[in-house]
Structure 1
């Protein structure tokens, strides 16, 4: 108790010193079980994210000991006479300051290094219900830990992201996609129930049957309606091994035709489809050897010039088939049957077999290599787009073969299709209005290596050119992990979902105190009555 009082006193002094508008007594009354910190290390950590493009210092950081701690903090903000904001931060993998806040408190949902030292991890709170095939997890839990826990029961979540060191609440607030989304849908389509702290500080349980409006609002809601403190995730029997295959194409329409053929098989028996379908664009020789393409063996190199790339661009189809050791004797025949209708370059088939967990955690191994070279903690001017199927060829001509040209790239360019019917339109996510749409993700890093085409300024400008090209060409893309700065841009992004999005905001976070780093609504000050959000 003495430590808590001293810490609260320190926070009060800090608030007075920097001239913030919050009444210090409001934070003194919180009485949290975790830790409310103004440690410079915590403040610095919460000021930055994976993008390293935006910086915003909070006045304090909360390491919660329970969902009640979060509810107390948000309620204090909601009832504050002068107002402060609250942002939830998972693994800090945002790219444009979405989890940051000024004049507010950041909640470190995943603990971070300080939370870990204090023993505030929530892994022990996971409950795996084998009979009902679900797992209850803390909102700040990382997916890698969810995987490890469920595998103890021979189970695993159905839908993933490519990178597992992300928080459950973070991906569910955006969508959560990977190569399984064509079949199982995004992660937000595989949730049974949530516990959420709304912008009023109310801790509510919601699902399809209970508080369904809040349930659908929060899923893909960019953190605007509440903070996810618990999620009930659907599970399935976990396979033991994965046959991982990559093949190359030089013709774009052939490449996308095969991708669309593969995802059209999702309604057929499991033996008649692949379990994962992705792909990426290779716009220069160097990309073949980068971290996302390390699959190719140095002893068996592939040269763009040797396979007749059209316009200097190659396309890689990446597919997997899950299996168990007991069925390992049939995997060759199953894969052969699935691939016989594909039209890839015959000499470019690369396969490997590995444990299921190793495949799911493949990007983390690449991360460790980049960290060793000092190439991980650099700015990441990523651009993620959902592109209508009918216009994907135009994007190829204008962007892959046009704007990107033959410049050296510093990160992968992913491209793969998804089925819209696997996305619940009641959620807050917006997707193109076609039955099939593509993710195009330019996951590039800004490197300080003297090459202009890999600088932050150049890549940011190039992202702007890509968006302007889409706008001028009438390609109605939607940003995934969206980032806009004006009300008009956000209204255009949500389209006919805007009115519903706005109404939900006014109902669940009327003072607009949550997730202000998204820059959708301006926080209010004064009374708790509804005022203009702009």
Structure 2
């Protein structure tokens, strides 16, 4: 999710507003034909409830079976079997990674869910050094495991999501973004090769040179064209340490202009993200909550006076022998910014500690029962030319506070994205990710919190539509075919053509609700 994201800095999620769960349950019917498959792994028909849950915690779509593949051939055999059943069968197949979908996208009502993590395991991960280092890893491998294995070789992937306990196949099916994407592009811009099981059950190796159309289709393709079973990911030398910095702004224009300046500079920070803090009480105790308590007194005592504030978070990577030079570089960069001087806070942590920062908060939230709750997230890409219009209406009128989850706002460079992929972004060189990462409780006694969050999302989307903001959803969800066509815009015909070529029966990723099996053809 922000891929990553999809899933973001949960360290800022200090106050969670509780709400209720919306469930859509389908009673599965076990297709007897699945029993005939000969697999290295196994098909589970009994305990399938876990495969009907996800991080969004709002939908439950029970599958008929869960495949625990012992090899890629198990996945291919299962998909091929469903494909050969033809249009007469309603069976579908969904790949499920670590279960961080938001609205049932990795579920398959009455179908087969593939438990992709069964393909993981460090023993199957191979790190290659040299001038162009890379790692070959399973599509079901978690990014945290990829990082730990690569660090053993002094290497690391270039681009990340904010949350690392996501699978490779999951983030590559969306985009995979974080504060490094302005420089390196999303994760889908840092892949050399994929192994894919198509909707026909074919196993194909794909790259820029081989099966190139499928390669680009699958990257950001929402799982519509194939199941990513293996990926070759670009690496770079890994730093040992990170200088981690946060500052506050009270002026939105200064906040955005400083971010845009930083991501346009050749010599700049290695990670840049922004947050919006809407706190009408004036108390501001959690904007630096993920840091050690070593901040200056003026920062710990900072009072927002009820203003909307904006937090800029940056890092600079370094090794111990570079500490003095890095400090000089950081001071020079900070001198160009217009933040509130008394709010400067800095810390130094290991590279691993910074990248895995959200997991620390996850553990704390799980211990309090505040992790497995509904997450009515809304992630948007907003063109730079309209970001001030968007902020004025949304932060000034629609939103009343940000206490139920962080609000991200930071710019990205279109030039770092490959327009051959299926990912959809605004048609401007610079655009902003704006992510509303709400959490609401799952108690039946209070349904209003979730309802308020969903209505708030609707108001934001309605404003964007009426004002012609030109936004695109990230981790998109749309209710109708017409909405999906509008989302893809000029690339819809290419998207539909690719669906027809690689998954003609619409077997794969039914939870995305873009195409429907046994319905009218994709190009209609």
Whole-angstrom CA distance in 1 between matches of 2:239 and 2:192: 22
Moved more, 394-403 or 479-488: 394-403
Partner of 1:60: 65
Partner of 1:14: none
1:69 to 70, 74, 79: 74
Task: Count the aligned residue pairs.
Answer: 493
- Maintained 8 Å contact 1:137/1:232: yes
| Structure 1 position 531, deviation (Å) | 4.1
Query: Does 1:333 pair with 2:328?
Result: yes
Partner of 1:384: 379
Is the partner of 1:369 in helix, strand or coil? helix
User: CA 1:305/1:333 → structure 2, altered by over 3 Å: closer, same or farther?
Assistant: closer
Partner of 1:364: 359
Partner of 1:86: 93
Partner of 2:209: 209
Partner of 2:422: 428
Is the partner of 1:58 in helix, strand or coil? coil
- Maintained 8 Å contact 1:182/1:422: yes
| Structure 1 position 318, deviation (Å) | 0.4
Whole-angstrom CA distance in 1 between matches of 2:135 and 2:201: 25
User: CA 1:237/1:101 → structure 2, altered by over 3 Å: closer, same or farther?
Assistant: same
Partner of 2:482: 488
1:400-456 CA-to-partner distances (Å, cap 9, x unmatched) read 121002x35211001100000000000001100100000000001013589979711
Moved more, 276-285 or 479-488: 276-285
Whole-angstrom CA distance in 1 between matches of 2:499 and 2:406: 35
Partner of 1:12: none
Partner of 2:127: 128
Is the partner of 2:394 in helix, strand or coil? helix
Pairwise CA RMSD of aligned residues?
Answer: 2.2
Partner of 2:50: 45
The 5-angstrom pairing of residues 380-419 of structure 1 reads: 380-405=375-400, 407=401, 409-419=403-413
Whole-angstrom CA distance in 2 between matches of 1:288 and 1:483: 33
- Maintained 8 Å contact 2:221/2:423: yes
The 5-angstrom pairing of residues 169-180 of structure 1 reads: 169-180=169-180
2:110 to 103, 112, 116: 103
2:291 to 295, 298, 314: 295
Whole-angstrom CA distance in 1 between matches of 2:294 and 2:361: 16
Whole-angstrom CA distance in 2 between matches of 1:507 and 1:339: 51
Please identify which structure carries the higher helix content. Answer: 1
Query: Does 1:32 pair with 2:26?
Result: no
Query: Does 1:438 pair with 2:432?
Result: yes
Partner of 1:114: none
Partner of 1:323: 318
1:343 to 338, 347, 354: 338
The 5-angstrom pairing of residues 177-256 of structure 1 reads: 177-256=177-256
1:34-87 CA-to-partner distances (Å, cap 9, x unmatched) read 1111232xx110001000111100000001111111000000111014321000
Structure 2 gap ranges (5+): 1-26
| Structure 1 position 141, deviation (Å) | 0.2
- Maintained 8 Å contact 2:275/2:407: yes
Partner of 2:7: none
| Structure 1 position 492, deviation (Å) | 0.2
User: CA 1:451/1:55 → structure 2, altered by over 3 Å: closer, same or farther?
Assistant: closer
1:367-397 CA-to-partner distances (Å, cap 9, x unmatched) read 1111111110100000000000011111111
| Structure 1 position 302, deviation (Å) | 5.3
Partner of 2:4: none
User: CA 1:306/1:98 → structure 2, altered by over 3 Å: closer, same or farther?
Assistant: same
Query: Does 1:507 pair with 2:501?
Result: yes
Whole-angstrom CA distance in 2 between matches of 1:412 and 1:209: 41
Whole-angstrom CA distance in 2 between matches of 1:294 and 1:451: 31
Whole-angstrom CA distance in 2 between matches of 1:421 and 1:94: 27
* Higher RCO (CA < 8 A, seq sep 6+): 2
Whole-angstrom CA distance in 2 between matches of 1:340 and 1:257: 14
Whole-angstrom CA distance in 2 between matches of 1:346 and 1:172: 39
Query: Does 1:470 pair with 2:464?
Result: yes
| Structure 1 position 257, deviation (Å) | 0.3
1:321-353 CA-to-partner distances (Å, cap 9, x unmatched) read 000011112221110011111111111100000
| Structure 1 position 474, deviation (Å) | 1.1
Structure 1 gap ranges (5+): 1-17, 112-119
Whole-angstrom CA distance in 2 between matches of 1:198 and 1:99: 16
Is the partner of 2:117 in helix, strand or coil? coil
Whole-angstrom CA distance in 2 between matches of 1:141 and 1:305: 42
Moved more, 73-82 or 84-93: 73-82
Which contiguous aligned blocks of 4+ residues in structure 1 show a shift greater than 3 angstroms?
A: 18-22, 285-309, 448-454, 530-534
| Structure 1 position 122, deviation (Å) | 2.7
